[in-house]
Amino acid sequence: MLELIIACAIPYPFLTPDTLNEYIECREIQYKVSAVEEHIELIVDEFGLDKALIPLLIIYCESSGRENAINYNKNGTTDRGLFQFNDKTWAWLKPKLKITTTPFNKIVATKVAKWLMINDGLHHWNASRKCWDYDNKN
């Protein structure tokens, strides 16, 4: 399934500086997606094949694919799970979405991430944007 999400072809007949950079970027994306390969089926099932890349890259950049990842922030809050939901975000969403579990539940966390992406955008993952947002790299 990885091949369906991201495939990097060597430009033919010649690699140029422009096509070489695109190829290198593609291979970097391919590496990140393969590092979270165990979550591909879940993400594709929830987001669809055509929209799976960004959530997979966010998972790689936020938690390296570790469902039980915990990170402590300087402001005293904690980020948890695959998508590294912040305590404040999770507390805001719990009553709104009737969540009864923790961000460590990867199925619920994936559904919540999808809801956030559709209804509130990608800004919740701005801290790792340089890692996953290839459209806006400088």
Q: What is the pLDDT of residues 78-90, one digit of tens each?
A: 999 999 999 999 9
CA distances in angstroms from 62 to 1, 13, 94, 127, listed in the order given: 22, 37, 21, 9
- What is the identity of the amino acid at 47? F
**Domains in the chain, CATH or no CATH each:** 16-136 (1.10.530)
Structure tokens at 49: 């094949």
Q: What is the DSSP string of 63-94?
A: HTT-TT-EEE-TTS-EEETTTTEEHHHHHHHH
- What is the per-residue pLDDT across 92-106, written as a single tens digit (0 to 9) for each? 999 999 999 999 999
pTM of the model: 0.88
